[in-house]
Amino acid sequence: MINNLFFYVILLLTSFQNVSLKEFHEHLAKRLQINIGPSPEMNGNEDCYNYTELLKVEINHKSKVTDLKLSDSAPDWLVKDLQRQKDKKQLYVNKLDSIALADGIKNCVLLFPLFLESDDFPCGEGKKKRGYSENYFKFNGKYLQGNIRFGEQIKLIFTTRFVSK
């Protein structure tokens, strides 16, 4: 009996670990790259910047995306930009739902490190180094709990020659 129980626990753990986030990550990264705007610094004299945030994607028991949110360390302009994308349905959440369902992703929180940088980063200034704020792992002032899985980083690079329309 114990051997059978051990076998099922191992089988459950290995099947859970084999679930790939690759297609989910690729779709999410592509939609963000298409829709996210460059940093406000690009419209001024500053041409070197970087932002490092966490993007949280909540998936319910039916493999439906119930929320997309940035960590508390995210700047206001980025939070507003993500909300604009959600409001205008530019992230194609239905496609994310179908990927999650096909890959067996459910009852979890997916975290994707999100990097937004100018193409000439780093620029040599000490304040421009990539780092993590104390709120990097917090959402609404709290640390996450439960079934959390980390996905691959999403890196968006904007050229310093960007001209705002």
136, part of any domain: yes
13, part of any domain: no
pLDDT, residue 116, reads 83
- What is the rounded CA–CA span in Å between residue 162 and residue 8? 54
Q: Which pLDDT band holds residue 55 (cuts at 50, 70, 90)?
A: very high
Note down the domain range covering 71.
20-158
Q: Mean per-residue pLDDT for 2-22?
A: 48
86 class by beta-carbon count within 10 Å (0-12 exposed, 13-18 middle, 19+ buried): middle
12, part of any domain: no
pLDDT, residue 161, reads 57
**Cβ atoms within 10 Å of 96's Cβ, excluding its own:** 23
Q: Which pLDDT band holds residue 72 (cuts at 50, 70, 90)?
A: very high
124 by DSSP, 3-state: which?
Answer: coil
pLDDT digits (tens, 9 = 90+) for 81-95: 899 888 988 888 889
Q: What's the total number of domains in the chain?
A: 1
Copy the structure tokens of residue 39: 């940093």
87, part of any domain: yes
164, part of any domain: no
71, part of any domain: yes
